[in-house]
Amino acid sequence: EKLSAPKPPRGRISMITQSGAFGVASLDYMAGHGMGIRRFVSLGNKCDLDETDFLEFLGRDELTDVILIYVEDIRDGRRFMEVAKDITAQKPVVVLKAGWTSAGARAVRSHTGAMAGSDAVYDAAFKQCGVLRARTVEEFFSMGKALSKQPLAEGPRVAIVTNAGGPGVLTVDACEARGLVVPEFSEATMARLEGLVEEGKLPPFMSIGNPIDLTVSVTDEMFKLAVEVVLEDPGIDGVIVLGLHHPPGLSEDYIDMIAELARRSRKPVVACDMGGTDMADYVRRRFDEKGIPAFGSPEEAAAAMWALYAYRAYLRRAKGLEAP
């Protein structure tokens, strides 16, 4: 029986791991980053059941929205692909495959006695059956977090709204490196932004292009106005809000404002606040609590937005709506 179409995210993640130690560390990480856990499976050396058995089980679990899998090898590749193709028609699956370098493959043999196999084969197999592959731990959790909290992006076009020029440029690079697009805004959007500047609602020295740099003079209302405008641009598929918490005119009220805009929009919104202080952690946690996945680096935010686009693109290809 084929699975139904993907449902709106509700924040419930299930995880399968071949490494108990990585699993324990993952639970600690997820608990500290606002990621809800539905089920957790540690496979060990897979003496009787393997990753595909539990993938099939979690695919049928209506209370699991996203499946994260850490593996060092896959025992039955053909069966895994068949099951994964059915599961990804309903819910996203993100895999972190360890042992993809020659030294890593040697470490896998030492750890579990398994053969890691050709990384190119794994890569092609994952793409064919709609599994999103993460290359780093940060990507792994960023993708899972975004997919569990936000709607999918209909396309790769991203708007970036920030109060920090340098981090904004870094975010552009991170998005482009991921295969996302940071386009120029439409003439109508540019006119709206310029009109807000003329009305004194946005700073006259801000950068109106993409990324929008509201500068250190930013206020809560300025962030709200800018994000509202770009969300309404038909040439934008998702928004990254990069709000450094340091400017004196910015309070946590802007988080509620952005969350309300995101709630009313069908486009995904991802947040980023760079820093390691208690305040930075607090801002990211508040965004998470409001349903907006928040991250500490442009690269994590870009990986999150890419996952929201890549999964939608796979679903469209699977239905014959896009060329492979």
* Strand stretches in 206-266, DSSP E: 212-213, 238-242
pLDDT at site 100: 58
pLDDT at site 9: 58
* Cα–Cα distance, 1 to 9 (Å, whole number): 22
Which sign does the torsion angle of CA 281, 286, 291, 292 carry? negative
* Cα–Cα distance, 69 to 205 (Å, whole number): 47
Q: CA–CA distance from 20 to each of 24, 44, 97, 111, 243 (Å)?
A: 6, 7, 15, 12, 36
Compute the residue count for the chain: 324
Residue appearing with tokens 């999150």: 304
Say yes or no to pLDDT of 280 above 60.
Answer: yes
- Residues 247-261 pLDDT 10s: 999 999 999 999 999
Q: What is the mean pLDDT of residues 13-19?
A: 93
Please state, rounded to an integer, the average pLDDT across all residues of the chain.
Answer: 90
pTM for this model (two decimals) = 0.90
Contact 87, 59 (CB under 8 A): yes
- Using alpha carbons only, what angle is made at residue 30 by residues 28 and 32, rounded to the nearest 5 degrees? 70
Contact 58, 14 (CB under 8 A): yes
> Which spans in 72-136 are helix H?
77-87, 102-112, 119-128
pLDDT classification of 8: cutoffs 50, 70, 90: low
Q: How many CB atoms lie within 10 A of CB 232?
A: 15
pLDDT classification of 19: cutoffs 50, 70, 90: confident
Q: Which long-range contacts (CB under 8 A, 24 or more apart) does 103-112 make?
A: 108/72, 108/73, 111/19, 111/72, 112/18, 112/45, 112/72, 112/73
For residue 71, report the phi and psi dihedrals to the nearest 5 degrees.
-135, 155
Say yes or no to pLDDT of 105 above 60.
Answer: no
Return the amino acid letter for 182: V
Contact 191, 202 (CB under 8 A): no
